[in-house]
Amino acid sequence: MNVPAGIQPFLRFRYLGYCGVWFGNIRLFKDGVRLRCVACGSLHPPDPWLFTCRVCGALLDVVMPANTSFKWGRAGRLSVWRYRDLLPLADGVEPVSLGEGGTPLVRIPRVAGVNVFVKLEGSNPTGSFKDRGMTLGVTIARSLKIEGVIVASTGNTAASASAYAARAGLRCLIFLPRGGVAKGKLLQALLHGAEVVEVDGFFDDALEFVLEEYVLRGSRNLYPLNSINPWRLEGQKTVAFEIVEELGGAPDAVVVPVGNAGNISAIWKGFKELWEADLIDRRPRMIGVQAAGAAPLAITWSTRSRGLRIEENPTTIASAIRIGKPVNWVKAIKAVEESRGAFITVTDEEILKAMMMLAKLEGVGVEPSSAASLAGYLKAVEEGLVDRDERVVLVATGHALKDPDAIKILVDSPPRL
Ligand code: F0G
């Protein structure tokens, strides 16, 4: 398939008619929730099946009604559903949940100083941040009373979708790049009973296949839960809420590893919504980290290119972010620009060294893509993008056990710290 730019495959989407907010006798979304095009700004009704703008074909963001009732500091543990008032689903919708969110925020004084925290998203039920989005996405899928869900994945989306689908009693169909997925993730998907199809090529090919064959054709049996789905991303914005609640305010910067670029966009959206609701008095700079061999966004940003600079042959040890055509590139560039942040690239050596530093000096086990956050932070300090005394949160997106082969590389030939 020949796809010249990140969002273009979606230009060919057909819109299949109005769905509204009622499904059967379930009211799915809160009053006032809308979808807005990230490129032309057109507004659309809240439709779970609408993924691209009917006017220009670009991706959509959920627009929340102004919230005046939310207050910080209520009793109870942190979690995705604690922030239900700030999420688009209507109050009567019963969540498909495994207790996602509420992940630890720990300081890493030995490797980065007392002002730097790691948000351990590997502590989510399936071991990655994807669970924050899947709890919403699969809740919607179940409410739609359809057969199941479908995703393309570098592994974690697959593991998460398959667990939540199993919990909801739904079918889960997964497309993976052959040979490109860490063992732990593939086995998780199989454990939870997903149907797995391996695609020759990269993640980008697997995603294009899913979009062309299942979404574009207007099939409504399987609900697509890749990050083209703006409802899924709403769950992921809750990491911003937890960070603010734990720190008692927004940090100076948040560092996020970037692949398909849904997460950095979602986290920024979370901070923006808090800012607009007067719930924080400052917004952090968003720093996106990409592996040097798979850095389409870092290149697009640093060259001020108007179109996405696609990487046709992405390579990196961090298989979760081995992505050459991030679909959310418009959203991610906006997140970095609006927040006055930056994109940074790190080499595989730097990623492995950061993984080892976190493991050996802080007791924090993360997979390579997550270690990119620390590698990116260290480089940002070196390059003067971040001051050492600034309060910074590094998002550690997935657990070390996801990728035993990467651990083996470190154990067999440990980098010098
Ligand atoms: N870190 C981990 C551990 C991931 O699994 C991913 C993405 C990212 C970072 C990047 O997040 O795509 O929102 O920019 N994994 C996807 C997957 C692509 O299929 O599991 P992103």
Task: Check residue 218 and give its pLDDT.
Answer: 82
Sign of CA dihedral 121, 123, 127, 132: negative
260 CA: nearest ligand 1 atom: 12
Q: How far is the CA of 294 from the centre of ligand 1 (A)?
A: 13
Task: Check residue 213 and give its pLDDT.
Answer: 87
Task: Check residue 23 and give its pLDDT.
Answer: 64
Question: Does the CB atom of residue 262 touch ligand 1 within 6 A?
Answer: yes
**Residues 352-401: pLDDT tens digits?**
999 999 999 999 999 999 999 999 999 999 999 999 999 999 999 999 99
226 CA: nearest ligand 1 atom: 19
Question: Does the CB atom of residue 157 touch ligand 1 within 6 A?
Answer: yes
Q: How far is the CA of 110 from the centre of ligand 1 (A)?
A: 27
Question: Does the CB atom of residue 369 touch ligand 1 within 6 A?
Answer: yes
Task: Check residue 73 and give its pLDDT.
Answer: 86
Minimal-distance CA residue to ligand 1 atom 9 = 257
Pairing mode, strands 253-257 and 22-23: unpaired
Question: Does the CB atom of residue 177 touch ligand 1 within 6 A?
Answer: no
**Residues 252-299: pLDDT tens digits?**
999 999 999 999 999 999 999 999 999 999 999 999 999 999 999 999
Q: How far is the CA of 318 from the centre of ligand 1 (A)?
A: 10
Q: Kindly report the number of other CB atoms within 10 A of residue 173's CB atom.
A: 20
Q: Which of 289, 286, 298 is nearest to 253 (CA)?
A: 286
**Confidence (pTM):** 0.95
Which top CATH class is 20-67+130-229? Answer: alpha beta
Q: How far is the CA of 322 from the centre of ligand 1 (A)?
A: 9
Q: How far is the CA of 325 from the centre of ligand 1 (A)?
A: 13
Token code pair at residue 149: 């869900």
Task: Check residue 9 and give its pLDDT.
Answer: 42
Sign of CA dihedral 25, 28, 29, 30: positive
236 CA: nearest ligand 1 atom: 13
12 burial class (0-12, 13-18, 19+ CB within 10 angstroms)? exposed
Q: Which of 216, 167, 226, 166 is nearest to 193 (CA)?
A: 166
Question: Does the CB atom of residue 188 touch ligand 1 within 6 A?
Answer: no
Q: Which residues make up the CATH 3.40.50.1100 domain(s) of the chain?
A: 20-67+130-229, 105-127+232-412
Question: Does the CB atom of residue 259 touch ligand 1 within 6 A?
Answer: yes
Question: Does the CB atom of residue 257 touch ligand 1 within 6 A?
Answer: yes
Minimal-distance CA residue to ligand 1 atom 19 = 153
Q: What is the mean pLDDT of each run of 10 residues along the chain (417 residues)?
A: 37 42 76 96 96 96 90 93 96 97 98 98 98 98 96 98 98 98 98 97 96 87 97 98 98 98 98 96 98 98 97 98 98 98 98 98 98 98 98 98 98 95
Q: What's the fold here for domain 105-127+232-412?
A: Rossmann fold (3.40.50)
Q: How far is the CA of 69 from the centre of ligand 1 (A)?
A: 33
257 CA: nearest ligand 1 atom: 9
